[in-house]
Amino acid sequence: MSETLNSSPDSSTSVSPASRPPLTHVPLSSTPLPELDLAAGPWPGTRRQVGELTLHVRHIAGADTTRTRSVPAVYVHGLGGSSTNWTDLGRLLAPHAPGHAVDLPGFGLSEPRDGFSFSLSAHAEVLAGYLAEHTEAPVHLIGNSMGGAISMLVAARRPELVRTLTLISPAVPDRRPDPRRLADPRLALAYLPLIGKRVRRTLAAMTPRQRAEQVLRLCFADPTSVPDHRFEEFVEEHGARAAHDWAERAMALSALEIFRTWFARGTESLWSVAPRIGAPTLVVWGTHDRVISVRRAPRTARLIPRARLFVLPRTGHVAQMERPTTVAKAVLGMWESVEAGRW
């Protein structure tokens, strides 16, 4: 029914911690997937109320579930991303799990309320509220980058809401002094005293196309592999964000909150959160991730009790966008293994 990856061009390389040999034994599902349609646009969206917030959420229907209940999949984007980051992966997995892709407060089409802190904990509280109120939890929770860190918090704090967890380059502490990890390093300065106002004016002068090009160079191992129409979608989305006065603030403050957690100690550290995650977990990383180094991958997977590690060669920070078919096979392989009691 499944296979384990080897080192061929279309498979993963293994980071093999000697202390736990099964860590990198990731089964790939042999169940046929839908044909990947790169021309398909984003899923349709709707509005959902969570407390005082109104979230924009995209939905994709699953297979006919009149006979059996299908566990939904909920997708959580990273810093500067949105629900459109899951267009391809969600369609590939839709026959097995209806999809919900959430725009976090301040991102995509979700306007934040006044006073929202943009901390990882605040985002996690909103996500947990959405899962509890608008899904048939527990769900398959899938998060990338900042969304992965937020998903870790939800899985640790609200285990009843999470059936399985998939973390794609989660934003765990990575203290390399490299400001290039941001699409624009000036974002880290945008809300500092004195210079912040000037920095924000400079950022505002950039065109949506320039912003989109920055993101692609940072997040993809090979930016030229992105189809032209997908790039135009990115440009359109950056243009729509530029029309909201809250978008830049949400981006900058969320980035600062991520950096703050990297220096947190005790129970606030994500390294302390990881051992408290009880859900079966798949950790996915790209060898060419310029945002969160793949060197953080083994520790992340070792600390989560039921985690396995899947490392993809020639892949950047958004494996679900750059290698959607391979990631879908790994995710579905985990779901199948969990159902069969083999994870």
Cα distance between residue 223 and residue 130, in whole Å? 33
User: Predicted confidence band at 185 (pLDDT cuts at 50, 70, 90)?
Assistant: low
Residue 187 inside a domain? The answer is no
Residue 245 inside a domain? The answer is no
Q: Which two tokens stand for residue 43?
A: 């899923």
Q: Dump pLDDT digits (tens) for 74-129.
A: 999 999 899 999 999 999 999 999 999 999 999 999 999 999 999 999 999 999 99
CATH number of the domain that residue 122 is part of = 3.40.50.1820
Single-letter amino acid, residue 65: T
The predicted model gives 27-47 an average pLDDT of 94
Single-letter amino acid, residue 244: H
User: In Å, how far are 44, 83, 96, 131, 332 from 328, measured between CA atoms?
Assistant: 21, 17, 11, 22, 6
Kindly report whether the global pTM for this prediction surpasses the value 0.75: yes
Distance of CA 323 to the CA centre of its chain: 14
Residue 193 inside a domain? The answer is no
Residue 158 inside a domain? The answer is yes
According to DSSP, the residues that pair with 102 across neighbouring strands are 57, 76
User: Predicted confidence band at 197 (pLDDT cuts at 50, 70, 90)?
Assistant: low
What is the tally of structural domains in the chain?
Answer: 1
DSSP states of 83-126? GGGGHHHHHHHTTTS-EEEE--TTSTT-PPPTT----HHHHHHH
Residue 93 inside a domain? The answer is yes
User: Predicted confidence band at 130 (pLDDT cuts at 50, 70, 90)?
Assistant: very high
Q: Is residue 247 scored above 80 in pLDDT?
A: yes
The predicted model gives 202-210 an average pLDDT of 75
| Domain carrying residue 276 | 2-177+265-339
Residue 312 inside a domain? The answer is yes
* pLDDT for position 248: 84
Say which range, 101-115, 177-191, 250-264, has the weakest mean pLDDT: 177-191
Share of the chain above pLDDT 90, in %: 66
Average pLDDT, the chain: 87
Cα distance between residue 335 and residue 343, in whole Å? 9
Q: Is residue 8 scored above 60 in pLDDT?
A: no
- Tell me the chain's radius of gyration from C-alpha atoms: 19
Q: Is residue 200 scored above 70 in pLDDT?
A: no
Cα distance between residue 126 and residue 46, in whole Å? 17
Cα distance between residue 292 and residue 278, in whole Å? 24
Residue 192 inside a domain? The answer is no
